[in-house]
Amino acid sequence: MNDLDSELLEGLFMKQGFNAGSLEEADVAVLVTCCVRETAENRALGRVSRLKKWKEERPGRYIILAGCLAQKESEKLRKNYPYIDYIVGPGNIFDLPVLLKEQEQKTILVDKLNERHKGPIITYRRSSFRASVNITYGCENYCAYCIVPYVRGKLVNRPVDDILQEVQALIRKGVKEITLLGQNVNAYWYKGWKFPDLLKTVARIEGLERVRFVTSHPKDFTDDIIKVMAEEPSVCESLHLPLQSGSNKILQRMGRRYTFEKYQSIVTRIRQYIPDIALSSDFITGFPGEDEEDFEKTRWALESIRYDTAFLFLYNPRPMTRAASLSGQLPYEVKQQRLARLIEIQQQISLQINRQTIGETVSVLVTHPSPRYEEQVVGRTRSDKNVVFEGTPNLIGKLVRVKIREAYPSTLIGVKCANEKVFP
Binding site residues, ligand SF4, CB under 6 A: 139, 141-143, 146, 148-149, 183-184, 217
Distance of closest approach, residue 260 Cβ to ligand SF4, in angstroms? 17
Cβ distance 67 to 34 under 8 Å?
yes
**How far is the C-alpha of 158 from the C-alpha of 198, rounded, in Å?**
11
What are the angstrom distances between the C-alpha of 90 and each of 4, 10, 321?
11, 14, 19
**How far is the C-alpha of 181 from the C-alpha of 132, rounded, in Å?**
6
Which of 86/283 has CB closer to ligand SF4? 283
What is the biggest distance separating any 2 CA atoms in the chain, rounded to whole angstroms? 63
Which of 129/287 has CB closer to ligand SF4? 287
**Dihedral of alpha carbons 203, 177, 233, 261, sign:** negative
Which of 184/363 has CB closer to ligand SF4? 184
Which of 119/153 has CB closer to ligand SF4? 153
Distance of closest approach, residue 139 Cβ to ligand SF4, in angstroms? 3
DSSP string for residues in 338-360: HHHHHHHHHHHHHHHHHHTTTT-
**How far is the C-alpha of 196 from the C-alpha of 201, rounded, in Å?**
9
Distance of closest approach, residue 226 Cβ to ligand SF4, in angstroms? 20
**Of how many residues is the chain composed?**
424
Tell me which residue of 308, 299, 285, 293 sits closest to 357, measured CA to CA: 308
Distance of closest approach, residue 63 Cβ to ligand SF4, in angstroms? 28
Cβ distance 262 to 309 under 8 Å?
no
Distance of closest approach, residue 109 Cβ to ligand SF4, in angstroms? 23
DSSP string for residues in 147-160: -HHHHH-S-EEPPH
Which of 259/376 has CB closer to ligand SF4? 259
Measured between alpha carbons, how far apart are the two ends of the chain, in Å?
28
Share in percent of the chain as helix, strand, coil (round to 5) = 40, 25, 35
Enumerate long-range contacts of 333-339, CB under 8 Å, 24 or more apart.
334/286, 335/285, 335/286, 336/286, 338/285, 338/286, 338/290, 338/295, 338/314, 339/285, 339/286, 339/312, 339/313, 339/314
Bond into 268 cis (ω within 30): no
Which of 148/228 has CB closer to ligand SF4? 148
Which of 212/240 has CB closer to ligand SF4? 240
Distance of closest approach, residue 326 Cβ to ligand SF4, in angstroms? 15
Which of 151/167 has CB closer to ligand SF4? 151
**How far is the C-alpha of 152 from the C-alpha of 175, rounded, in Å?**
28
Distance of closest approach, residue 94 Cβ to ligand SF4, in angstroms? 21
Distance of closest approach, residue 216 Cβ to ligand SF4, in angstroms? 10
Distance of closest approach, residue 135 Cβ to ligand SF4, in angstroms? 14
Which of 142/300 has CB closer to ligand SF4? 142
